[in-house]
């Protein structure tokens, strides 16, 4: 008995000391990094390239976003946001693709021509084939788009297709209303050209891309094999597995242990582990914005002063600089400054807690009971902040805003949950929704406004309405020249910023981390293209 007690006491002492020492040991940052580097090297040397003895090349990709929670439950572009998975993993391709300046380049199609406000003529390439060997002609594309607009509400709204005519390789699309950005919209991931005659058994479709989906388990994994009939070059890698790893730590450990060859969505806190010669980063500025959407149905938020104070209470600089470890860009308007209509063209509130306090004070929001939370007419300045964890920036933003807003006198209740969609689909029960959205995914500024800001927008969750904005939107819809659209985009952004209906906190600097023997995996500004024929393992 006595011996056992002694033993247990010694054990406690031992563990306590070792824990303390290990914690103290890391006071020198460099020594900690060296040791992890050493560990990583060891692991990398154990793991040889994924070329098996029979010469097939296998590539395993870990992704945090490919799951049902993100409305990406399969690779059928005609469902929700599944087109993203379709295009990212090289199953489907769109008519045109974006370069890093978000300008259109030919892909499945060769060229297009704007006949009149409502008519567009698209000429397809003559050598494109589906992975089942069938060649892609205008008839197949027509069938694909007709199915798309029949089942996909967002696409139907964006495209407003009236009729499609197919003649050999020439496709003529007529729209019901002028759609100046029609070609851009067709390059949204939902515009992936698929062979609709093949159906979508288990969410798997037949596209034109370098890889063919063979097996899919939603939110678990996707198996792909090389497209032997690929029309645009030779595919280097024979087999690909995309693993859906929602947990950032699991992803980091999987990459370290060599279970995966590349990772998308790594937690910023884990970046230092891979900043060495065994791994490579590919990063690019994107228009994925981390933004706040205000709920006008809430009586507190409907108060102009409150929204302005919230906008003044977000410390964007520190959020990007510290919490995102510099992997991001501070946001002003809806678009980053890589766009002609983005960045400094618009103005908004800057971080000013003192100013916000004064503003609230003047508007009658005063802390009468001394608990640090302001009240007005007996109603406390309490807001419910809804967000979700699958974008790792969002919980960080939530907790940092909770503290900075607390200082101003807000009581912020956080609800960071995977179930965010259900909560914000209700008009009550939330005040601020923090989310991530690619605001300029198709290279045209109207995309964000049509999806989020207008009275009939599907994602206008907070019931926001501004007459001037609606008028500008109508004008935008009939403006075809790029410069005019750019000017209108600036005016429209300024409207929503003046209303503080949206607060744009930051833009994502998208990074993928690969093992150093992987080549051909490159980050793109639009965040659409990941696995291509160029992907290789050396």
Q: Compare residues 273 and 489 and give the one whose CB is closer to another protein.
A: 273
Q: Compare residues 245 and 334 and give the one whose CB is closer to another protein.
A: 245
Structure tokens, 181: 């950005």
Q: Compare residues 22 and 422 and give the one whose CB is closer to another protein.
A: 22
Structure tokens, 409: 């006198």
Asked whether position 273 contacts another protein by CB under 8 A, the answer is yes
Element spanning 508, H or E = strand 502-515
Structure tokens, 257: 């242990």
Min separation Cβ 512 and another protein, Å = 18
Asked whether position 276 contacts another protein by CB under 8 A, the answer is no
Q: Which of 295, 332, 348, 404 binds another protein (CB under 8 A)?
A: 404
Structure tokens, 266: 């790594």
Q: Compare residues 9 and 480 and give the one whose CB is closer to another protein.
A: 9
Q: Which of 100, 147, 337, 399 binds another protein (CB under 8 A)?
A: 399
d(CA 445, CA 492): 10
- The radius of gyration of the chain from alpha carbons, rounded to an integer in Å, stands at 26
Asked whether position 373 contacts another protein by CB under 8 A, the answer is no
Who's near 121: CB < 8 A, 6+ residues apart? 112, 113, 115, 170, 171, 172, 173
| 366 DSSP 8-state letter | B
- What distance lies between CA 513 and its chain's CA centroid? 17
Who's near 325: CB < 8 A, 6+ residues apart? 268, 269, 271
Which of the ranges 154-162, 263-271, 501-509, 511-519 carries the binding residues for another protein, by CB under 8 A? 263-271
**Binding to another protein (CB under 8 A): which residues in 193-212?**
none
How many residues touch another protein (CB under 8 A)? 42
d(CA 388, CA 378): 31
Q: Which of 7, 16, 151, 474 binds another protein (CB under 8 A)?
A: 16
d(CA 148, CA 145): 5
d(CA 284, CA 529): 12
- CB atoms inside a 10 Å sphere around CB 139: 14
Give the angle subtended at the CA of 189 by the CAs of 336 and 489, to the nearest 5°.
Answer: 35
Which of the ranges 145-153, 401-409, 434-442, 467-475 carries the binding residues for another protein, by CB under 8 A? 401-409
Q: Which of 22, 257, 347, 478 binds another protein (CB under 8 A)?
A: 22
d(CA 303, CA 515): 51
Min separation Cβ 248 and another protein, Å = 5
Which of the ranges 17-25, 131-139, 162-170, 176-184 carries the binding residues for another protein, by CB under 8 A? 17-25
Nearest to 341 by CA among 241, 199, 444: 444
Structure tokens, 183: 């070609």
Asked whether position 402 contacts another protein by CB under 8 A, the answer is yes
**Binding to another protein (CB under 8 A): which residues in 308-347?**
315, 318-319, 321-323
Asked whether position 17 contacts another protein by CB under 8 A, the answer is no
Nearest to 284 by CA among 507, 519, 92: 507
Asked whether position 384 contacts another protein by CB under 8 A, the answer is no
**Binding to another protein (CB under 8 A): which residues in 23-82?**
23-24, 26-29, 32, 36
Q: Which of 269, 280, 302, 366 binds another protein (CB under 8 A)?
A: 269
Q: Which of 270, 348, 477, 479 binds another protein (CB under 8 A)?
A: 270
Q: Which alpha helices (H) appear in 57-209, and where do they start and end?
A: 82-88, 138-151, 153-159, 182-186
Which of the ranges 5-13, 63-71, 219-227, 332-340 carries the binding residues for another protein, by CB under 8 A? 5-13
Torsion (CA) 246, 249, 255, 260 in degrees, nearest 10: -20
Q: Which of 400, 439, 466, 532 binds another protein (CB under 8 A)?
A: 400
**Chain position carrying tokens 């060229």:** 111
Q: Compare residues 262 and 320 and give the one whose CB is closer to another protein.
A: 320
Asked whether position 15 contacts another protein by CB under 8 A, the answer is yes
Who's near 177: CB < 8 A, 6+ residues apart? 118, 160, 477
Min separation Cβ 513 and another protein, Å = 14
Q: Which of 166, 267, 280, 366 binds another protein (CB under 8 A)?
A: 267
Asked whether position 3 contacts another protein by CB under 8 A, the answer is no
Min separation Cβ 376 and another protein, Å = 24
- Interacting residues toward another protein by CB under 8 A: 1-2, 5, 8-9, 12, 15-16, 19-20, 22-24, 26-29, 32, 36, 248-249, 252, 267, 269-270, 272-273, 315, 318-319, 321-323, 396, 398-400, 402-404, 406, 414
């Amino acid at each position: 008995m006595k011996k056992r007690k002694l033993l247990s006491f010694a054990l406690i002492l031992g563990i306590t000391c070792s824990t303390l020492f290990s914690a103290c040991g890391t006071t020198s940052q460099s020594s900690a990094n060296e040791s992890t580097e050493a560990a990583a090297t060891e692991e990398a040397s154990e793991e040889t390239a994924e070329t098996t003895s029979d010469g097939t090349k296998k590539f395993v990709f870990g992704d945090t976003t490919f799951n049902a929670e993100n409305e990406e439950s399969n690779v059928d572009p005609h469902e929700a946001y599944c087109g993203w998975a379709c295009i990212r993993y090289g199953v489907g391709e769109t008519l045109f693709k974006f370069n890093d300046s978000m300008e259109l380049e030919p892909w499945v199609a060769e060229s297009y021509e704007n006949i009149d406000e409502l008519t567009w003529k698209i000429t397809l390439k003559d050598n494109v084939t589906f992975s089942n060997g069938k060649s892609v002609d205008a008839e197949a594309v027509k069938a694909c788009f007709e199915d798309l607009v029949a089942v996909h509400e967002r696409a139907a709204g964006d495209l407003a297709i009236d009729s499609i005519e197919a003649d050999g390789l020439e496709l003529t699309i007529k729209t019901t209303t002028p759609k100046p950005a029609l070609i851009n919209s067709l390059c949204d991931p939902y515009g992936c050209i698929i062979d609709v005659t093949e159906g979508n058994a288990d969410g798997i479709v037949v596209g034109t891309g370098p890889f063919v989906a063979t097996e899919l388990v939603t939110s678990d994994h996707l198996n792909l094999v090389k497209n032997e009939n690929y029309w645009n070059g030779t595919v280097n890698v024979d087999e690909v597995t995309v693993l859906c790893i929602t947990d950032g730590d699991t992803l980091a450990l999987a990459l370290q242990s060599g279970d995966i060859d590349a990772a998308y969505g790594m937690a910023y806190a884990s970046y230092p582990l891979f900043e060495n010669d065994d791994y490579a980063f590919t990063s690019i500025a994107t228009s994925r914005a981390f933004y706040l959407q205000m709920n006008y149905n809430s009586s507190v938020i409907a108060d102009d002063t409150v929204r302005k104070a919230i906008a003044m209470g977000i410390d964007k600089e520190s959020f990007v600089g510290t919490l995102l470890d510099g992997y991001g860009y501070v946001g002003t308007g809806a678009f980053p400054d890589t766009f002609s209509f983005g960045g400094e063209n618009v103005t908004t509130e800057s971080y000013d807690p003192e100013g916000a306090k004064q503003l609230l004070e003047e508007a009658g929001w005063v802390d009468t009971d001394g608990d640090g939370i302001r009240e007005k007419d007996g109603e406390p300045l309490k807001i419910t902040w809804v967000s979700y964890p699958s974008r790792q920036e969002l919980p960080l933003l939530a907790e940092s805003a909770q503290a900075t807003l607390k200082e101003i006198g807000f009581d912020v209740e956080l609800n960071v949950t995977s179930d965010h969609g259900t909560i914000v689909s209700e008009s009550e029960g939330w005040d601020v929704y923090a989310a991530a959205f690619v605001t300029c995914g198709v290279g045209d500024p109207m995309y964000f406004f049509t999806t989020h800001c207008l009275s009939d927008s599907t994602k206008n969750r907070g019931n926001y309405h501004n007459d001037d904005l609606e008028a500008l939107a109508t004008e935008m819809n009939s403006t075809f020249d790029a410069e005019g659209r750019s000017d209108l985009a600036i005016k429209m952004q300024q409207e929503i910023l003046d209303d503080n209906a949206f607060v744009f906190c930051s833009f994502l600097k998208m990074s993928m981390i690969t093992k150093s023997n992987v080549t051909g995996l490159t980050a793109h500004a639009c965040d659409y293209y990941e696995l291509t024929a160029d992907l290789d393992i050396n």
